[in-house]
Amino acid sequence: IRLRHLAYYTTFVAEAELALVGAEQLVWLRRFDDEIDNFRAALTFALSGPSEANAQGVRLASSLWRYWLVRGQLSEGVSWLERALALPVELPSVVRAQAFNNQGNLTLELADFARAKDLYSQALALHEAAGNQEGVADELNNLGVLLSIQGKWGDARTYFERSLTIRRELGDRTSMPNTLSNLGDIALAEGDFDLAERFQREALAIRQEMGNRRGIAITNNNLGVIALQRDDLSVAHDLFEGGLRLAQDLG
């Protein structure tokens, strides 16, 4: 029964992961809220149970990263992933790479930049070896974020541009707005407000097309910062208000 329970929730979360950035994200966040005790029970069994459960535990812990991020449960998400990845289990390289990446995403939010860099670098090496360009684009973007945090704008831009090129070639509309937004942040930091706005507007259009309300809230905030830097306080106020309402609606 425990194995069937684990299999059900591993599939449930994997299939629903991208719904957390789609038009029905509020519905799915609430569904995840309702199932949180089942997630924890499945993970507890997977990480301490028989070997046939361990691999599913890695997949489940990895797929839950976005939920932990949105709900602010960063330390819990990192803890599950650390325990899962420490298990002596055989995994496809792309699955392990994605788990490293997702742990890196949560670790980055906890400001453990050295650990995040290590995780992203491990993921990049695995994706490159497997020829997985989507994964390569993810890691280039994330390593660019680390460089931008350190104020290394030129190096960060190079990573973001490489990531964006791959994502445009793949037609990856889900991830493309992240890189566009990051390039907008670089342009803003360098004082090029027009270029910053162009990147953010392109990101906003894709997020609106997808119905990604959390993404729209983030882009509204970014555009508000640009307006603030231009001393256009009325526009900034409206953008911040719009982003705040969306964020509050999503909890």
How confident is the model over 3-26, as pLDDT tens digits?
Answer: 999 999 999 999 998 888 888 888
Q: Does residue 51 have a pLDDT over 90?
A: no
Q: What does the mean pLDDT of the chain come to?
A: 95
Q: Does residue 227 have a pLDDT over 90?
A: yes
Provide mean pLDDT across the span 227-247: 96
**In the chain, % of residues over pLDDT 70:** 100
For residue 119, give Cα distances in angstroms to 62, 78, 98: 13, 12, 10
Q: Does residue 219 have a pLDDT over 90?
A: yes
Of the pLDDT bands very low, low, confident and very high (cuts 50, 70, 90), residue 231 is very high
Q: Does residue 82 have a pLDDT over 90?
A: yes
Residue pair 17/66 in contact (Cβ under 8 Å)? The answer is yes
Question: If 0-12 CB within 10 Å is exposed, 13-18 middle and 19+ buried, where does residue 41 land?
Answer: middle
Residue pair 124/138 in contact (Cβ under 8 Å)? The answer is no
Q: pLDDT by residue (tens digit) across 176-201?
A: 999 999 999 999 999 999 999 999 99
Predicted TM-score (pTM) of the model is: 0.88
